[in-house]
Chains A and B, each alone.
Chain A
């Protein structure tokens, strides 16, 4: 059947003649194609591949200022033996897990709210997106002063409403500092997830909710059996992208705590920075960078896999 319709739709030229006549042209077009993508390819090589290779090569060297010696995988061994690395990995993973869970939970709630709201929808969307629009370094500097123990607004407000009995050093005690950093990242990261989930919510046909309403489904049941299954792909994609974004978070920590107190907020990028620019151990810092890259790549591969599976399901 397919063969017939295919042959019927073909123009008059026989396949063999066409092939014979155009083969040199096709070859030439293929090379033209390569030529067209060459500038982009060279640019990507220059800004991604070359630095990656250089970073990996640096991770195999011991650096003393301008002098380097090849040490093989010794830097990796030193990093993996150091207490600071394992502390940073633990801080990074707990920071990422907590932040992503809260981004998704709060982002989903806000997305559902914005999806239902009728009045001032545009104003509310812009308002909720504002933290995402502010440069992280600027937002962090503002938070640094809001959380300042003596003059900060947070202590003043919490104290005024009776939430705390004495002013807290939000960034001065390990558990409070970790919690504060998570809170600031949640403030910054929720809009991104909210935006993705809002787009997802708008793809769910209204008829499904109407039919469920006629069948007597409660709002909770509608959420459980309509919203969540329809949003599954969006939630997974948003979470994966958010993990990639959060695990390499540096700006908030660099501005607010520098990784302290006593390493309580020293995520892997902060450890990398401190190793490179405070301890001047570029080889070890590059090794940390490579290990961080492997961690991020694992989630990137997961993301690519998920989007490919979804695309294949959609095309069936």
Chain B
């Protein structure tokens, strides 16, 4: 009896093992490589048609590779990536704060793949752009798209205030004159960003750069928000607009979303923002279509730089299929998709060889942004602690200064000291 049962069990086990082995063989033979792809903007409506079309085209061209988008809200993007990285399960393809991620060992160096590509292809990116994609001399991502910061005006409100929309402000003095004219009951010239995200820092930097200021010394070892007189002067001028009543109330709760909503609802007449804000404002208020003016941020020095955010696609350190991932990066960086991203989603092309493409040249708004972006400083800044200070310490300083306007200098001196301590401690 016992022998019969043992024989029967052995038979079943053997059969199952054989079936399993056969299944596994068949699965391995047919199973495509699946690459997870996580960027902060996959959930944004304006980008959806472009990335869906691009993924379908890539999969059709590469039948052995399947792209699995990881949809995550912008707010939770970094948290999810870090958690997955700590578990060694990060998506193969990611767009994250490159320096911080590379410093923490979450990304793979891409030099061998990059160097194996033809020189003509590599030359499509300027040296300055590629410098921002490197950490300690190694390449950790390929810059795909960006955002160029400029001043965006509501033409109707400008005209209604008796100002000439063809001659937007060039200097701070011009801007303050406009601000006075554009502020009236229930309407303000602009919004100061002071909410708890790094957009607060981005706009602050554009003001500092427009005055020739810097926030770090040349070798990035010392913060100079207050130490550099040009920087401090710019901070005072920008935040001073809240005290003067030119900026919408409650700046400490104003982020990108609140700013664009106020702009779409004609509550503010101008906003310091990147090209993607136009798509958002026009979607919220279609009546704004064709009624926006884009101009360089008012500045105090000739040829003042603005700020250009850079989004690169990287490969996670533990990616088991880096060759397949590199294929996708090359596909994503192709001129065709760069132009589509710019035309449909307002993500600005980073490749410097696209300015003469007919589709770009035929779009005056795009061309204006590209022209403004010719002299721009890359963002985020190449510091491993940048994400922390940009969304934390600098925002806290802006909030403190907004709540107690007489303490601006002290607050930013304290900020310099705090950042310097962190720089030494990293």
Contacts and interface: CB of A to CB of B under 8 A. Distances in A.
Contact of B391 (A150, A261, A278, A282): A278
A277 interface: yes
Nearest to A255: B75
A174 B196 CA distance: 13
Interface string A165-207: 0110101111000000000000000000000000000000000
Interface string B220-235: 0000000000000000
Contact of B78 (A167, A262, A263, A277): A277
Contact of B251 (A166, A172, A259, A277): A172
A66 B399 contact: no
Contact of A149 (B85, B250, B396, B399): B250
A131 interface: no
Contact of A257 (B196, B385, B392): B196
Interface in A144-168: 148-151, 166-167
Contacts of B262: 150
B100 A172 contact: no
B317 A66 contact: yes
A171 B106 CA distance: 35
A67 B104 CA distance: 8
A274 B392 contact: yes
Contacts of A278: 387-388, 391-392
A221 interface: no
Contact of B250 (A172, A260, A263, A277): A172
Of the listed residues B250, B385, B388, the one surrounded by the most CB atoms of chain A closer than 10 A to its CB is: B250
A179 to B, nearest CB: 15
Nearest to A171: B253
B196 A258 contact: yes
B252 A172 contact: yes
Nearest to A280: B104
B392 A279 contact: yes
Nearest to A147: B253
Contacts of B248: 150
A38 B86 CA distance: 30
A278 B385 CA distance: 9
Interface in A54-104: 64-67
B64 interface: no
A280 B258 CA distance: 28
A65 B252 contact: no
Contacts of A263: 396
A151 B186 CA distance: 11
Contact of B249 (A66, A169, A262, A274): A169
Contact of B396 (A64, A67, A167, A260): A260
Interface in B93-126: 100, 103-106
B181 interface: no
Interface string A120-162: 0000000000000000000000000000111100000000000
B288 to A, nearest CB: 18
Contacts of A169: 249-250, 252-253
B331 to A, nearest CB: 28
Contacts of B395: 260
A65 B392 contact: no
A148 B262 CA distance: 12
Contacts of B253: 148-149, 169, 171-172, 261
B106 A262 contact: no
B400 interface: yes
A261 B388 contact: no
A65 B103 CA distance: 8
B388 A280 contact: yes
Given A150-B267, A172-B253, A261 B399 contact: yes
A173 B104 CA distance: 35
B396 A65 contact: no
Nearest to B197: A258
A279 B425 CA distance: 12
Contacts of A149: 249-250, 253
A282 B399 CA distance: 26
B55 interface: no
B28 interface: no
B106 A260 contact: no
Contacts of A282: 86
B40 interface: no
B79 interface: yes
B196 A280 contact: no
Contacts of A166: 249
Interface in B109-153: none
B403 interface: yes
A172 B194 CA distance: 9
Given A260-B396, A262-B400, A279-B392, A64 B105 contact: yes
A65 B196 CA distance: 24
Interface in B384-426: 385, 387-388, 391-392, 395-396, 399-400, 403
B82 A277 contact: yes
A20 B402 CA distance: 84
A260 B196 CA distance: 7
Contacts of A174: 403
B388 A260 contact: no
Given A65-B85, A278-B387, A167 B403 contact: no
Contacts of B403: 173-174, 261-262
Contacts of B196: 257-261
Given A172-B251, A278-B388, A66 B82 contact: no
B392 A64 contact: no
A169 B251 CA distance: 8
Contacts of A65: 85, 103-106
13 contacts: A66-B105, A149-B253, A150-B248, A150-B267, A167-B249, A173-B252, A260-B252, A260-B399, A261-B403, A262-B400, A278-B388, A279-B392, A280-B387
List 5 tightest A-B contacts by C-beta distance, closest first.
Answer: A65-B104, A169-B250, A149-B250, A172-B252, A65-B105
Interface of B: 78-79, 82, 85-86, 88, 100, 103-106, 194, 196, 248-253, 258, 261-262, 265, 267, 317, 385, 387-388, 391-392, 395-396, 399-400, 403
Given A259-B196, A260-B396, A279-B388, 16 more contacts: A64-B104, A65-B105, A148-B253, A148-B258, A149-B250, A150-B267, A169-B250, A171-B253, A172-B252, A174-B403, A258-B196, A261-B399, A263-B396, A274-B392, A277-B79, A277-B82
